[in-house]
Amino acid sequence: MEFLWDGFRQALDLLAGGDEDVLGIIGVTLRLAFWSTLFALVLGLPVGLALGLGRFRGRGAGLAVANAGMGLPPVIVGLVVALLLFRGAPLGGLSLLYTLNGVILAQTVLALPIVIALTAAAVQSLPDGLLEQARAFGASRTAVAVLALREARVGVLAATIAAAGSAFAEVGAVVLVGGNIDGETQTLASAVLVRVSAGEYGRAIALGIVLLGLVLLLAGLLTVLQQRRPRSTLGRPS
């Protein structure tokens, strides 16, 4: 316990003292989590809505792929993305290997099936009559999709929490695609791995505590939003 307490005190000292190394790592971690989650939501929400609302051939296969994608090994995803980004590879011309943008790409790939699968599941769990009533009132497909997204907001925010959380915790893809470069692509999770390997256990614990604090803060904020009730979910759809 004293060892952990020393790590906690060191974490406070690092933050209070404005340690440039730690602040830089925090900045990289936050940028990775923000952009990868945003891209995953932008790409994944429409697909999740289509799978949850649609009745088309191949829908079941799409759901199965999304659900299977939630269990993708991050190391394998990182390896595949890295191979695609090497010079001479299909995406080599983008010059994303060993850059933060490359890590964001890999993390987006990891977060995308999470958003799709959880959004589709949330939409499928809505009462059967709700969306049918909206269609009966003459609501367009877009209006029905917006209604479904609003009513399934708890599940959508759960998908957001899961996607952001995976970005905070990711190590394998960061190392393989980003090279874990200090000051450029190193995140809190990968920094902890480096510090442990170097025998700097106190600093590793301090970085781990900072990481845990960020995860809890993010989860708390999104949970507050998740549990908020809108003023009214009734009314005739337009």
Section 40-65 average pLDDT: 91
- Quote the tokens at residue 219: 């989860």
Section 190-207 average pLDDT: 84
Report the percentage of the chain scoring pLDDT > 70.
Answer: 93
- Quote the tokens at residue 158: 């759960």
Q: Positive or negative, the Cα torsion across 143, 145, 146, 147?
A: positive
Residue 206 has a pLDDT of 82
Section 161-187 average pLDDT: 91
pLDDT band for position 41 (cuts 50, 70, 90): very high
Q: State yes or no: pLDDT of 212 exceeds 70.
A: yes
Q: State yes or no: pLDDT of 228 exceeds 90.
A: no
pLDDT band for position 238 (cuts 50, 70, 90): very low
Residue 3 has a pLDDT of 66
Mark residue 138 as left, alpha or beta (left: phi above 0; alpha: psi -120 to 50; beta: remaining): left
Catalogue all structural domains in the chain, each as residue range(s) with its CATH number: 2-227 (1.10.3720.10)
Residue 224 has a pLDDT of 84
- Which pairs count as long-range contacts for 62-71, CB under 8 Å and 24+ apart, including other chains? 63/117, 63/120, 65/113, 66/113, 66/116, 66/117, 66/120, 67/113, 67/117, 68/113, 69/112, 69/113, 69/114, 69/116, 69/117, 70/113, 70/114, 70/117
pLDDT band for position 231 (cuts 50, 70, 90): low
Average pLDDT value over all residues in the chain: 86
Helix ranges (DSSP H) in 170-200:
172-173, 188-197
For residue 176, which of 122, 102, 229 has the smallest C-alpha distance? Answer: 102
CA dist 44 and 222 (Å) reads 18
Q: State yes or no: pLDDT of 132 exceeds 90.
A: no
- Look up the pTM and report it: 0.86
Residue 61 has a pLDDT of 93
pLDDT band for position 230 (cuts 50, 70, 90): low
Contact 119, 69 (CB under 8 A): no
Instruction: Tell me the pLDDT tens digit for each residue of 84-110.
Output: 999 889 999 999 999 999 999 999 999
CA dist 175 and 186 (Å) reads 8
DSSP-based three-state secondary structure for 200: coil
Stated as kind and residue range, the H or E segment containing 230 is: none
Residue 237 has a pLDDT of 43
pLDDT band for position 201 (cuts 50, 70, 90): confident
CA dist 224 and 238 (Å) reads 29
Q: State yes or no: pLDDT of 227 exceeds 80.
A: no
Residue 164 has a pLDDT of 92
CA dist 54 and 117 (Å) reads 14
CA dist 148 and 238 (Å) reads 13
